[in-house]
A and B are shown apart, each in its own frame.
Chain A
């Protein structure tokens, strides 16, 4: 019980259900409902002097923060971001100035803490104007760290943000955990296209042609969604579509050898060599939305140049397939 009524006290230890929930959310299962109620929470037994951390109401964000705060006394102010993580919510403006101001007032934070300071994740900065929050609530914002994992060190070192704490990374692991949701996202379109390919090629080219087309296409999608993102720093070029096209070409060459041995005609092989890299390039280009270093203007420029090339390659691929039927 506090001066402003009951504040829920939350633990720092994640349960088996929390881990399962996080894993399911990574695969897009119940992801949009993976939320906690916004508002103020107590971790440990915080006093009026203890720090106030701010996070999003995506349960995975909230869980990561509270887990890092084990054996500490802190206040946790959870904003209503409708189950979206801090960074994406900041981009959308829900992890934003107005929501933060309203949440400070609604939680009656001024009555609970003697200081006037809030610790925000650095990746929340695109949504929050620190000077506006200061003007409206008298709370000063300190952008603490990018990763919640750095918070203990930050708090122990007198709230100093080291260079490493404000530097984004995009490690193999950080890329790997993004892939499940990308796979789920690509699933529907891939299933539809594969069904059409199978149907059309089975009718006009026989079962072998149908199986080959579906295999080639599925491989191209997997290269673009899984392999190219994982190999990102090692694939040549700056452009994502070029990186994707190169990875796709590697698969297209292997695939061509197989279908060549199986007796497919030269136009069919050429179709694979054109179509597969184009599909892989498109999916790799779409991974720019997941990265931590690509710019909107860069993606726009790349799309202007790459989409017409991909389109032409796909059209040529189809013409060759039609041609191979009559040659």
Chain B
């Protein structure tokens, strides 16, 4: 995104090009232009721009895209960690 970059080489986005049918939906739903088309096959051209929203994965009709999605703020992740470890309490949540 113009003027903004986040940590490099962390995004969990994976594309199985063997499954791709070239529908281009991933290029339409991605708000960060992570994908582009080459020879009618989708390709990841800007992995570091991926914010792991999951739009591409949900909309891929042949399930060729995998990505780890979920809460992306510190308090959301701390709450998730508290739940995973069966510790009560919450420090407030984002996206409510």
Residues of A participating in the B interface, judged by any CB pair closer than 8 Å: 32, 84, 88, 90-92, 122-123, 125-131, 143, 146, 161, 163, 166-170, 185, 188-189, 232-233, 238-239, 282, 285-303
Contact = CB atoms under 8 A, between A and B. Distances in A.
A145 B69 CA distance: 22
A126 B7 contact: no
Contacts of B89: none
A239 B31 CA distance: 21
Contacts of A130: 25, 59, 61
B95 A298 contact: no
A126 B6 contact: no
A289 B95 contact: yes
Nearest to B26: A125
A134 to B, nearest CB: 9
B68 A296 contact: yes
A293 B4 contact: yes
19 contacts: A84-B95, A90-B55, A122-B31, A125-B59, A126-B54, A126-B58, A128-B59, A166-B31, A166-B33, A169-B1, A282-B74, A289-B73, A289-B74, A292-B1, A293-B6, A295-B10, A295-B50, A296-B77, A297-B52
Given A130-B25, A130-B61, A232-B4, 13 more contacts: A129-B58, A129-B59, A189-B92, A238-B7, A286-B94, A289-B74, A290-B94, A292-B31, A293-B1, A293-B5, A295-B52, A296-B69, A298-B11
Nearest to A85: B95
Given A129-B59, A295-B52, A233 B4 contact: yes
**Majority-rule SS of A interface residues:** helix
B22 interface: no
For chain B, the bracket of interface size reads: 35 or more
B28 A143 contact: yes
Interface of B: 1-8, 10-12, 25, 28-33, 49-55, 58-59, 61, 68-78, 91-92, 94-96
Query: Among B8, B12, B74, which residue has the most Cβ atoms of chain A within 10 A?
Result: B74
B66 to A, nearest CB: 13
A288 B3 contact: no
A233 B55 CA distance: 25
B29 A288 contact: no
Contacts of B50: 295
Nearest to A232: B4
B27 to A, nearest CB: 9
A91 B69 contact: yes
Contacts of B1: 167-170, 292-293
A297 B10 contact: yes
A286 B73 contact: yes
A308 to B, nearest CB: 13
Contact of A123 (B7, B31, B33, B72): B31
A126 B2 CA distance: 22
A222 B40 CA distance: 50
A295 B31 contact: no
Contacts of A167: 1-2, 31-33
B54 to A, nearest CB: 5
A300 B32 CA distance: 20
B88 to A, nearest CB: 17
B28 A166 contact: yes
A302 B95 CA distance: 20
Query: Among B7, B32, B68, B71, which residue has the most Cβ atoms of chain A within 10 A?
Result: B7
Contacts of A298: 6-7, 10-11
Contacts of B3: 170, 233
A296 B70 contact: yes
Contacts of B75: 286, 289
Given A129-B58, A146-B31, A301-B7, A293 B49 contact: yes
Nearest to A294: B6
A301 B10 contact: yes
